[in-house]
Structure 1
Amino acid sequence: MPKYTPLAVANTFLARHAGSAGIDHMKLQKLVYYAYGWWLAYQPEPLLTEGPELWKHGPVFSSLYRTLASSRSAGIIEPQKAVPFSLPPTVPEADDQAIGLIDWIWGKYGQFGSFKLSDMTHAKGTPWQIEAEKNNYRVPMHHKIPDGLISDCFKKEAEALDN
């Protein structure tokens, strides 16, 4: 199974769901995080080439942050490039599983704004909250949220949905 960069998944959200208002950076971070977590609930290997880090406003993919930071809170309308003179990376349409997940994530979380999604990732019992509590709510630089913790949390949520 191919792995994608966080930017490729964010760009796929933009290409498929941005509309004329676009999607702001923080919301893209949270949508990519939910795609990462839900993928791990059902698959043994991560969908992305990097895992989320523990940041003040929730789980963040640092490479995605670096690429989108200049947009601040403005809506991003079009897929973004990681480097000049290249095409913006996206998840190929032929990857039915990943595209299906991205569309499912949009259906489940797309109606929420950035701050609501951030609050949801901070809720008691979430991977971010558990890891933040272990660190006395300090956010050490480059502290990865363990995949096992993310997987376990999303598997529990998947079981609850199945029941």
Structure 2
Amino acid sequence: MKKHTLVALIFFLVFGVVQAQHTGGKYDREKLEAARVAFITTRLDLKPEQAQKFWPIFNVFNDSREINLKEMSELGKGKDLQLSEAEAKSRIDRKFEIQRKMIVDEEKFVKDLSGILTYNQIIQLNGLSREFARHIYQRRKDDDRK
């Protein structure tokens, strides 16, 4: 009974926070982060002791991943400009370096998590960030129609 109450509370928190976030076209980053934490915690069915160990590892990995993805995105900018062959090659080489680093980082992340989560939970985690983003996008789209 206690577990069901906790799950219901987390779901209400996620949906309540998502609804309360949209204020004049801007989102409260803190509330969005709290909703993301609740969403992932609930979907993975994390126990409190798992969550306590999981989130610091996840946050470090996620921050690093976002930095790498942003850098890769920056490498693709200016594609309409005429790049020298050397600059184009340099950008491609850097992209591959970043991708290799991301693979190494993800392998370490999975290894670190394997002592905290089951491998099934780790696989589920892979799609949860995208699922959360889709959920937020859909909620915003629905709110804009109202």
TM-score by length of 2: 0.31
Q: Computing the radius of gyration over CA atoms, which structure comes out larger, 1 or 2?
A: 2
Higher helix share: 2
More RCO (CA 8 Å, sep 6+): 1
TM-score by length of 1: 0.28
